[in-house]
């Protein structure tokens, strides 16, 4: 059966790597360190996927401007103490390897910075499978379409042959703003009802479902 897509772009945190709780907890711990309002779990999870500075401004909107730089530093302190031990979601490695073997171009579009993504790709052993990546440090943060536009240009793939996979409304809106099909996953940062309200092509409960969807539809 002929392929529907040539390029599949994955978000990273909450989609490939099971890092949602650690990211949210690191945001909350950084706020406690500096005596700032500690965001709820829901708020801390909602900003995952945005660039770090943008995420912290959304999560802690009442912080004085001068506090955001030390807040970034404290977040990184807490996150980096744990990031080497963050696991991939079950089935992620096998699915990504299978897509690579089948000849798809694979990309990453993430709110991480370049150093953070490089560490994650190296520690997870997935670096060899991805052909191109974009971070919020390199271009506009989600849901601006620049990440996907740049990946499609770099890999010479049109929007109608590209698929985005992500766990947040930021990912779904990124794809829709770029004119790209999108599949959402319900095991990351944003709740299923929030994702379904944006009408992705499908909503997957785990990587087993996602892998089956790829075989049937991609």
Would you name the residues annotated as active-site residues? Answer: 11, 13
Pairing of strands 162-166, 105-110: unpaired
- Which string of b and e fits 108-139 if b means at least 16 CB within 10 Å? bbbbbeeebbeebbeebebeebbebbbbbbeb
Distance (Å, whole) CA 76 – CA 62: 20
- Summary count for the chain: helices (H), strands (E): 10, 6
Start-end of H helices in the chain = 20-33, 41-46, 52-59, 68-80, 92-101, 114-124, 146-155, 169-177, 192-196, 207-217
């Amino acid at each position: 059966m002929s392929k529907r897509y040539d390029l599949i772009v994955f978000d990273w945190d909450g989609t490939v790597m099971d890092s949602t709780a650690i990211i949210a907890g690191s945001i909350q711990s950084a706020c406690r360190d500096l005596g700032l309002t500690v965001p709820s779990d829901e708020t801390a999870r909602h900003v995952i996927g945005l660039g770090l500075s943008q995420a912290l401004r959304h999560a802690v909107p009442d912080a004085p401007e001068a506090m955001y730089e030390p807040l970034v530093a404290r977040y990184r302190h807490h996150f980096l103490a744990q990031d080497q031990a963050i696991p991939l979601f079950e089935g992620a490695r096998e699915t990504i390897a299978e897509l690579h073997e089948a000849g798809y171009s694979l990309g990453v579009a993430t709110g991480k910075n370049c150093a953070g993504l490089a560490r994650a790709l190296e520690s997870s052993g997935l670096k060899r499978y991805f052909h191109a990546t974009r971070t919020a440090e390199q271009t506009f943060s989600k849901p601006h379409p620049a990440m996907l536009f740049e990946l499609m240009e770099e890999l010479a793939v049109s929007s109608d042959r590209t698929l985005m996979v992500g766990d947040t409304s930021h990912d779904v809106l990124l794809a829709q703003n770029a004119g790209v099909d999108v599949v959402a996953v319900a095991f990351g940062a944003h709740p299923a009802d929030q994702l379904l309200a944006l009408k992705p092509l499908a909503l997957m409960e785990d990587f087993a479902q996602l892998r089956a969807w790829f075989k049937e539809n991609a």
